[in-house]
Amino acid sequence: MAVDTQPAPAQLPGAAADSRPPDHRQPLWRRIAKRVLGYGVLAFFALVFIFPFMLAIITSFKTRPDAAQTPLNLIPDPATLSAFEAMGQVNLPRSAYVSIVVTLSVTLGRLFLDSLAGYALSRLDFPGRKIVFAVIVATLAIPGIVLAIPRFLVLGQLGMLNSFSGLIVPLAVDAFGIFLMKQFFDSIPKEMEEAARIDGATIFQTYSRVVLPLAAPALIALTILSFQGSWNEFLHPLIAAPSDASLRTLPVTLALLRGLMGEGTDFPLLMGASILTTVPVAIVFFTFQRYFVQGVAASGVKG
């Protein structure tokens, strides 16, 4: 059988396959127009989300007449610090102190108790473990307002109304934190714990010295969620300290500021207080944003 040994005809330069990406095959003006349009759309939506925050900051430096007459004006006329000076008169520093104490206590409590419960549900084999976990997850579907009256009655029977313990203890454990930590612990290989058990470590030593350091991403995610949730909590402080003004947190004080201003609403004061309330949460989130994403993503590896 004869074999054709003739070389294949050379391909013309114009017929050569274009290996460039599709975008580079387009004219330059079209690529520039698409990029400008894309960045323009992103800038527009960024401005839509940022504008209310900018307006709140600028309004906090306005006078009450200026804020009422030109609410959308981005230049205060005149600029003043009267709103920040008035915060001391409405007991905002005390409310900020209460919020800091409650938020830090609740966050630390959730870090310890949620991680401990999550580890027990992930590693300890006890009767009814799956049922307990199912009940914990089911509580996530219960609206918070449904538990408001029962929580008030329980706090009253325990004598914890109008106290720091009443503000902190009911929030020190939450179902989502347990679920988050349990899912993350499921993704950690058990071989690392078995090595510690062979060396004579107890269950708690294995949890605290081996597993917990490996769960840093999940702990950081839980820290951000707990800090944000407890700092912005409104309903529970309202029912846990109904008659003690010295135990009001910032969200409760902000809600009551409108009634304290008399006939008119002091928008500069409200905006200034709102900004001061937002800043701590923003700092925590942007500081640990990368770890927060890692923790949430890693917690969904196993289910």
Q: 188-215 pLDDT, tens per residue?
A: 888 878 888 887 888 888 888 888 888 8
| Contacting residues for 6 by C-beta, under 8 A, at least 6 apart | none
Average pLDDT over residues 145-172: 91
Q: Which of 117-121, 213-217, 289-293 has the highest mean pLDDT?
A: 117-121
How does residue 153 score in pLDDT terms, banded at 50, 70 and 90? very high
User: Residue 12: pLDDT above 60?
Assistant: no
Q: Structural domains in the chain?
A: 27-84 (no CATH), 89-299 (1.10.3720.10)
Peptide bond into 170 cis (omega under 30): no
User: Residue 63: pLDDT above 50?
Assistant: yes
Which amino acid belongs to residue 227? Answer: F
Mean pLDDT lowest among 17-26, 123-132, 243-252: 17-26
How does residue 24 score in pLDDT terms, banded at 50, 70 and 90? low
The helix-helix angle for 92-123 and 267-287 (nearest 10°) equals 30
pLDDT at 191: 81
**Mean residue pLDDT across the chain:** 82
Q: What percent of the chain has pLDDT over 70?
A: 84
Q: What are phi and psi of 201, to 5 degrees?
A: -75, 145
More confident: 85 or 215 = 215
Which two three-digit tokens encode residue 48? 């839509």
Which two three-digit tokens encode residue 219? 């702990």
The CA distance from 289 to 100, in Å, is 21
Average pLDDT over residues 272-300: 72
